[in-house]
């Protein structure tokens, strides 16, 4: 489980809200995996996460370019790579011969990525937000 904490806050409300929704849904997926929910349910949750991540990335990229964030270009590249990884993962997951551990592995990789990405890239937004 990822516990949301102020260390993840960028100071941009729309970005922080999106990140919280992603974390909540990753935690929901973890619970479903622990409860051994059916493949259809799990795959639906992964598909939702992928879709929401894409929508969030578009919003966040717009925000970084508006605020002239120095990591805006690096952020876009990281997002493209993540979506490619997601597409590959979903192919594995939806294959009829998918091993039972595939979803668990995808979930833990997504958790590690989001934590690392928020801390190393997205938090650069802090320096761009004017104090109010
Ligand atoms: Fe990002």
Q: How far is the CA of 107 from the centre of ligand 1 (A)?
A: 18
* 91 CB neighbour count, 10 Å cutoff: 10
Let me know if residue 119 belongs to a domain. Answer: yes
pLDDT attached to residue 132: 54
Domain-located, residue 47: yes
Neighbours of ion ligand 1 (CB under 5 A): 75, 122
Number of domains in the chain: 1
Is 42 inside a domain boundary?
A: yes
Residue 11 lies in a domain: yes
The one-character DSSP state at 123 is G
Residue 119, CB-side half-sphere exposure with 13 Å CA sphere: 9
User: Are the CB atoms for 127 and 68 separated by under 8 Å?
Assistant: no
Q: Residue 1 domain-assigned?
A: no
- Residue 77 has φ and ψ, to the nearest 5°, of -65, -45
CATH number for the domain spanning 82: value is: 1.20.120.50
61 contacts: CB under 8 Å, gap ≥ 6:
72, 75, 76, 79
- Residue 54: give the domain boundaries: 6-128
The whole-number pLDDT of residue 62 equals 98
pLDDT of residue 75: 98
- Give a yes or no: residue 113 inside a domain: yes
Residue 75 CA, ligand 1 centroid: distance in Å: 5
Give pLDDT tens digits along the chain (132 positions).
Answer: 999 999 999 999 999 999 999 999 999 999 999 999 999 999 999 999 999 999 999 999 999 999 999 999 999 999 999 999 999 999 999 888 877 789 999 999 999 999 999 999 999 999 999 765
Would residue 38 count as lying in a domain? yes
pLDDT at 130: 75
């Amino acid at each position: 489980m990822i516990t949301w904490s102020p260390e993840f806050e960028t100071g941009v409300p729309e970005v922080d809200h999106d990140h919280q929704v992603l974390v909540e849904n990753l935690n929901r997926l973890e619970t479903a995996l622990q409860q051994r929910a059916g493949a259809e349910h799990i795959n639906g949750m992964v598909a939702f996460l992928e879709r929401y991540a894409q929508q969030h990335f578009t919003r966040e990229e717009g925000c970084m370019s508006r605020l002239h964030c120095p990591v805006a270009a690096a952020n876009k590249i990281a997002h493209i790579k993540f979506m490619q990884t997601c597409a590959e993962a979903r192919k594995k997951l939806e294959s009829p011969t998918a091993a039972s551990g595939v979803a668990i592995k995808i979930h833990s990789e997504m958790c590690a990525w989001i934590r690392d990405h928020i801390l190393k890239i997205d938090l650069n937004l802090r320096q761009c937000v004017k104090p109010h």
